[in-house]
Amino acid sequence: MIVSVSIPLNVDELLLVQQKQIEDWHKTPHTPGEPGDLLNRTTLLNHFNFALWHQEDLARDPIASDALIAKVKRAIDKLNQQRNDMIERVDEALLEHFSCVKPSDNARLNSETPGSMIDRLSINALKIFHMTEETERESATPEHKAKCAEKLAVLRIQRADLGNCLHEILADLANGTKYLKVYRQMKMYNDPTLNPVLYAQKSKAP
C-alpha cells in the first residue's frame, strides 16, 4: 500500500471544459459516447444534465398537449436515472483510482461525493450559459438584464467556490485524510421489482 497518489482531475480544466461543451452542444447536436474513463464519464454526466435542462423547459410550455407533456416527462425520468447512474460511475472511477491509498487513522468520510460536486458544477455551467443569454436578450427590459447580471455574478462565485471544494476533497482523498464511498441512491421508481405500480401491473398481465 502506498501513502498517496496523483489527483486524477484538473479541476480548473474541468470547469472550462464543462462550459465549452455546453456552448458547443447548443450550436451542434451531440451524441454521447460510452462511459469509458473518468473524463468520458464527466462528459456524459454533463450531457445528461444538458438534455435534462431542455426537456424541463419543454415540460413547462403552457400550450403543450397532454400527450407531449407525458412524452417529455418520460424522457425526463429516463435522463434523470441516467444522470444519477453516471454520478455513481464517476465516483466508481475515482474510488478505483484511490484504491491504493492507505487512509490515515483519523481519515473522514465526506457527506458529498466528488461525483455529486461535478454534477452540481455541470448544472451551474448550464445556469451560467442561460443566464448570460438573458443578459444579452434583445427583447428583455433593462431591468430584467440588470437582475440577470446580478444573478450571473453570484453563479460565477458559486462556481469558483464549489470548484475549490472539489479540488480540496480530491487532494484529501489523494493524501488519505479523507476516504471515499460510492453513494448508492437506490432509486426505486424505475425498478419493476420495487415500484408497486409496476409490479402490480405485471401481476395482472395474462
> Is residue 57 one of the residues assigned to a domain?
yes
pLDDT at 204 over 70: no
Mean pLDDT on 90-118: 95
Q: What is the mean pLDDT of residues 149-163?
A: 98
For the entire predicted model, the pTM comes to 0.88
Nearest to 181 by CA among 70, 103, 83, 64: 103
What is the tally of structural domains in the chain? 1
- The answer to whether position 129 is within a domain reads yes
Position 66 scores a pLDDT of 84
Q: Could you give the percent of the chain with pLDDT greater than 90? A: 72
**pLDDT at residue 189, rounded to an integer:** 63
| pLDDT attached to residue 90 | 97
Whether residue 171 is contained in a domain is answered as yes
Query: Does the residue 4 lie in any domain?
Result: no
Strand, coil or helix: what is 88? helix
Does any domain span residue 58? yes
Domain annotation covers residue 144: yes
| Residue 179, in any domain of the structure | yes
> Domain limits at 180?
11-186
Higher pLDDT, 185 or 12: 12
pLDDT at 30: 83
**CB within 8 Å of 59: residues ≥ 6 apart:** 69, 72, 73, 76
- In angstroms, how far apart are the furthest CA atoms of the chain? 62
Residue 116 lies in a domain: yes
